Structure 1
């Protein structure tokens, strides 16, 4: 094989690979082995579980379902770790209630912007304070819309913090995808 041809073939292959990688990055899509974020380049199982939250304000408006990343002003992956320890660890009901009370207090009294891996604090559509928090575990797969956090296979309400009773009987707007 001629050296010039070999170098052109290598350059063409590298350029093609980079073009596909850039497409995945800019479209925020993952298709193994191409990934929008190289740090998270792995093959997912057919179905997996994630957290979702729904916030309820004092005027009866609902925010969500959405990811829990906006609840705390820390990196989004740390929020998921905290939620795992809080709702699947040895924490008792009293600690969960205290966590939800303090989290809602933080969200209502402090706002923070979207920066790097920290997601912006949630904002009530009516500017009323949030008074209730629902925590769900949902099952998703590749057919679920990655940009629509209500698009899921199944939902399970694992904790409801609702001291004023505003969330009872509320419709959450899940878009359950058929299996």
Structure 2
């Protein structure tokens, strides 16, 4: 006849902690998000050799070019900024693109934010008129720049 093992609360706690540790390790090694066991790997992703990301260039009327990323243009978490740019600038409609560019310029010129936690500092634009703003998609292969393509160019109405 089978007998139930003697299990007290301390043995149960040790067994539960061991199972949690093993599940967390397996989840991390497999790069799977197994919440609530292992949610720490949600920012740890395996990327292929080819990686594309957005970049922004502000071309000022004096010839200065200020380059930055999406996270320096909108006051949101850096890991969400690229998704916002993809949603707006990869779409077919032109109006949302113009509106976002106008709002970016207004925030950078007048209503700057402070960096905090996962929100990056705003791009520093000198007090010089803007001639155009270009949104780029840059592609790297194994970390080496390969391609750059302008996906949108915004020219303010007051530019010459």
TM-score after normalising by structure 2? 0.65
Deviations 1:15-47 (A, max 9, x none): xxxxxxxxxxxxxxxxxx9xxx85422321110
Deviation of 1:131 after TM superposition, in Å, equals 5.2
Equivalent pairs, count: 121
- Any unmatched runs of 5+ in structure 1? 1-32, 145-151, 167-179
Return the index of the structure with the highest Cα Rg: 2
Q: Is the 8 A contact 1:104 1:130 kept in 2?
A: no
Give the 5 Å matches for 1:15-26.
none
1:120 corresponds in structure 2 to: 121
Alignment partners' CA distance in 1, 2:97 and 2:136: 14
Alignment partners' CA distance in 1, 2:116 and 2:130: 23
Deviations 1:50-80 (A, max 9, x none): 101101234331101x211111111112211
Runs (4+) off by over 4 Å: none
Give the 5 Å matches for 1:1-179.
38-64=41-67, 66-90=68-92, 92-124=93-125, 126-128=126-128, 130=130, 132-144=132-144, 152-163=145-156
Alignment partners' CA distance in 1, 2:81 and 2:138: 16
TM-score after normalising by structure 1? 0.59
- Any unmatched runs of 5+ in structure 2? 1-30, 32-39
